[in-house]
Amino acid sequence: MHYVSTRDASLRFSSAQAIVQGLSRDGGLFLPEEIPALPEGKLREMAAWSYPQRAAYVMSLYLDDFTEQELLSYAEKAYGPAKFDTPKAAPLTQVGQNTHILELWHGPTCAFKDMALQMLPYLLTASLRKTGEEKTACILVATSGDTGKAALEGFRDVDGTKILVFYPKDGVSDIQKLQMVTQEGENVGVCAVEGNFDDAQTGVKRIFSDEALREQLAANGYFLSSANSINWGRVLPQIVYYVSSYCDLLDAGKITMGEKINICVPTGNFGNILAGYYAKLMGVPVKTLICASNANNVLTEFIETGVYDRNRPFYQTASPSMDILISSNLERLLYLLSGADETVRGYMQQLGRTGRYELAPELAASVRGNFACGCCDDTRTLATIGRVFEEKQYLLDTHTAVAYTVLEDYRAKTHDDTVTVLASTASPFKFCTSVLSALGVHEFAAGTGVITQLETATGRSAPKPLASLSGKAVRFDGCTAKEDMSAVVSAFLR
């Protein structure tokens, strides 16, 4: 199977090349030329399989440079007991009649980014071998909080790689910051940036396109690579858990084979929900994908009207990992729905020039036909956390609570009571102060004391990786002006 760029489908790449390169030189994103279909009866068969077996099978359909056996050995390590606190890796918890929460935060950093970033290092290092690359890969990450830590944990001490993470100085939660600045490993670096996430992201993009820096690094034996969700190696492992959730629903007798489900996803960069759409295209019976946004509701407007317009105020919300105005992976959806690279190229040029584009009417209708949407502000998000904890004894994090609220709105409006998988993207213990205030607590303990405070307030235990943060030494206290980020890279790779 070949991979093509969303902006130029005449260039074809192997899966290993697509993963090594991350982003196409024309600025487009790689995606597979065709979408493999799950054979008849496969979902039923897979219901009896372990999570790593499901992962190896699904990924093998997309990666013909890899054998299923090879992928199974990666998946067993990536999702094994040393990394995940449950053998199911992505378990479902039923909350109410038709709602099944897909908990994607049982990995080492307690956010759903682990699902992909525990796998990506295996895919990337194997792809480097397969393409004959001999330089050391330096993974450069701009993070709004969760990606940075998950990437650090995925790549720490992985041979042939180094990783450097930039985070916005005041744009991440205290716990997220502590998780990053205490990161262990010999090949890791972490640096704050004076500015917001877009400043950090823009700085990283500038470094990627800096030819002089590229040559200097190459002379030192390095090349830059990305672990952001533009890399196909990030999207692919995410398709697995939607397939897996259907298998688990079947296995538990919650649905019958062929019965359609809905999927509701708290969305930022459109990577997670795109993976759900791929699962649908592969043949998982999915009726509607519900895209949930916080106050940064650029996607809600896009799905409703076909107009994408990033010229709007940027809000810092209680769900910071969704505070995004440019949803990169939307580009892949536009290619899937239009099938035309020149169409995507045109929209992306407009977006670059004016920050806005408007879909042709048929394309807008096709988006609306596949996706429902909704948004909610912090007030409603926190109210949902409090109410769901009281009524259902289930503790939602702020991102999942956005999706929960939007799902309730959707059901009230449409009376659609289809069995729904709701993606839960982070442990509530990553966002202690917001969750505590949702529960009516307004005075917060200092530092990691908030974790214990939330444990006491709820009678729930924090995941181990968070509970053990308190004794850890800070290793990285650097901070840079956004103009000086490339100097930080040069120093890191000297």
Ligand X SMILES: *Cc1c(COP(=O)(O)O)cnc(C)c1O
Under rule CB under 6 A, residue 331 binds ligand X: no
Number of residues that bind ligand X (CB under 6 A): 17
Residue 106 near ligand X by CB under 6 A? no
Q: CB 294 → ligand X: shortest distance, Å? A: 9
Residue among 7, 113, 149, 411 that touches ligand X (CB under 6 A): 113
Q: Does 322 bind ligand X (CB under 6 A)?
A: yes
Minimum CB–partner distance for residue 13 and ligand X (Å): 23
Q: For the CB of residue 112, give the shortest distance to ligand X in the complex, in Å.
A: 6
Residue 349: CB atoms within 10 A of its CB come to 13
Asked if 119 and 112 count as a contact pair (C-beta separation under 8 A), the reply is: no
Tell the smallest beta-carbon distance from residue 326 to ligand X (Å): 11
Q: 28, 233, 268, 276: which one contacts ligand X (CB under 6 A)? A: 268
Footprint of ligand X on 37-66 (CB under 6 A): none
Within 142-181, which residues bind ligand X (CB under 6 A)? Answer: 146
Q: Crossing angle of helices 485-492/197-208, nearest 10°?
A: 60
> 395 with 427: CB under 8 angstroms?
no
**DSSP-derived secondary structure for 274-304:** HHHHHHHHHT--EEEEEEEE-S--HHHHHHH
Q: Which stretch binds ligand X (CB under 6 A): 31-39, 111-119, 412-420, 448-456?
A: 111-119
The correct pick among 15, 321, 381, 420 for binding ligand X (CB under 6 A) is 321
* DSSP-assigned letters across all residues of 24-58: -TTS-BEEESS-PPPPTTHHHHHTTS-HHHHHHHH
Q: Does 330 bind ligand X (CB under 6 A)?
A: no
Residue 374 binds ligand X (CB under 6 A): no
Question: Which are the contacts of 295, defined by CB distance < 8 A and separation ≥ 6?
Answer: 315, 317, 375, 377, 378
In the set 83, 113, 177, 392, the catalytic residue is 113
Q: Alpha-carbon distance 399 to 381, whole Å?
A: 8
Chain centre distance of CA 165: 16
Q: How many CB atoms lie within 10 A of CB 85?
A: 14
- The reply to whether 83 belongs to the active site is no
Tell which one of 5, 161, 244, 272 touches ligand X (CB under 6 A): 272
Q: Percent helix, strand and coil across the chain, each rounded to 5?
A: 50, 15, 35
Decide if residue 264 touches ligand X (CB under 6 A): no
Give catalytic residue positions.
113
Residue ranges that bind ligand X, judged by CB under 6 A: 111-113, 146, 229, 266-272, 321-322, 399, 425-426
